[in-house]
Structure 1
Amino acid sequence: MSSMLTDFELKWLPVINDYVKREIPLSVPQPLLAESMAYSVNAGGKRMRPLLTLAVLNTFKVEISSSRLRAAAALELLHTYSLIHDDLPAMDDDDLRRNQPTSHVKFGEATAILAGDGLLTLAFQWLTDGDLSDTQKAQLTLELAKDAGPAGMVAGQVDDVTNEGKQLSLTQLQLLHRRKTGALIQDAIAAGLIMANVTQQRRQLFLEFADLFGLAFQIYDDILDVTSTETKLGKPVNQDENKNTYPNLLGLSESKVKLRETIELGKIALAKAGALNNVNVDLLKSFFTYFKLDGDY
């Protein structure tokens, strides 16, 4: 991982973690609900989505105020809701997430579902109860609703569930993952651009970068399911045998080639975005160092 990304994480990861740990209990008066929501959020994780939002603000030299941090953290709440529901017996039926029992194992299915529901709706509250402008609040809310809802992540989850055991083409697989995984990464970048007051015309190349980063993230995740261990990942591995994944479709070696190609295309889009907007994109580029294949990156 690049020193630039490491330094950025060292500065902002504790801030994000402290913020959600402090603010969730203040937002949730029901004790069991507060405990179950906080349990999954505070379990850890890379916090990549809020970090991407903050990195966009940093790129455009916008102060990371409390309200902007709150909006970035909102995306982590929504992401965690999706993980809780994804782990449920009706979905992936996973017992381990981030090296600890999943929410439904810890609290039971009913409370886990409600914890996810609580995080989903609290995310929208956090987007709108700060002191951002009304225009920014409306844009952030609309963007997250589209990216997380039936036009985005939820549609991807349906694609994933209903196509188990079926062979999708590469184009169909990419569409599935653009919805399931990529949509929230798109939102992370879009949220930063909205709060930085970047015009619609100047956002497109950044969103192209987000799309490619999201695809790379999913390819990498699929590869790790085959090559990593439960201890390293903090969740079960070899769970995707009947699912549409890049290794299942292309093979492991070709999946690594596809990952490298996607990363390079993402870097090109990002360089163009930086030139168009006259900003230094090195920090955003450093996020590609998340992907480690035999020491390549």
Structure 2
Amino acid sequence: MLLNILNIVAPVFLVIGAGYLYLRSGWFADSLVDGLMKYAIQLAVPCLLFRATSTLDLASAFNWQIISSFYLAASLSFFAACLVVWKWFRRNPEESVAIGFAALFSNSVLLGLPISERAWGVDNLSEVYAIISLHAPFCYLLGITLMEIIRSDGRRWPETARIVVAAMFSNSLMIGIGLGFAVNLSGFAVPQIVTSAVDIISASALPVALFGLGGVLARYHFASELKLVAMVSLFSLVVHPALALLFCHLLQADLTHARTAVLLAAMAPGINSYLFASMYRQGQGVAASTVLLGTGVSVLSVSVWLWLLSGS
């Protein structure tokens, strides 16, 4: 089991490390990192999300107990992390939300999907896809809403709501998801020549984003933020899945299905944690370092959760 998880996590960690080393060594210009991340955020990742949502089988079972448990746990972990960052580490409210977002957005696709497939089998992933299909919209809606409420500076609720909606629909990642669901629900057949082009771009999304993230990491001093990074990683790798397990128990979810939510919740912070921080230019260094540390530590933490779930 540990070797299987290592085979999934290690390549991701190595790509991030390659970006870090390339920038540190001077083989890669610092200005090129911004270009890579802009390409990833504004084009490649939205294309990936579009293809995923446009081909998703929406008729798959949506278990309300499992989905509720996962997102209640994610929300509570997010709010608690934001509060700790604000009160304990004395960061400003905006930066607290940007950093705390890592405790909300687990890497459900890059790590969660392949690990779940290895753990539960390819024929038992319907609830995994159900959670993933809602993941980015839910997390961005919650994160953007809280951020805009904090930034409202006395604005009335209608104006704040307008800003939240505008931010949601002007976000390239959300646009990709929205278009994907529109195609899926309408049954519109996208011409193959278009889907083939989108697939080519989509194939570059994760490698480019991970390599660029490594370059971003090279700009920051990891050790100076170690306590904060470790705390957010703890929320992501331990608190989130523990809460998911608790809510599954409280909602009387079947244990066979409950493990789906718990395992996805146990994934390291996703790259969107850094993308969200970049959107608001708050806490990028901590967010990037949390993704790096969380991904590395998850080799062990996910193994522990798999062991606990297999024995339950």
Same-fold status (TM-score > 0.5): no
How high is the TM-score relative to the length of structure 2?
0.31
Select the structure that is richer in helix: 2
How high is the TM-score relative to the length of structure 1?
0.32
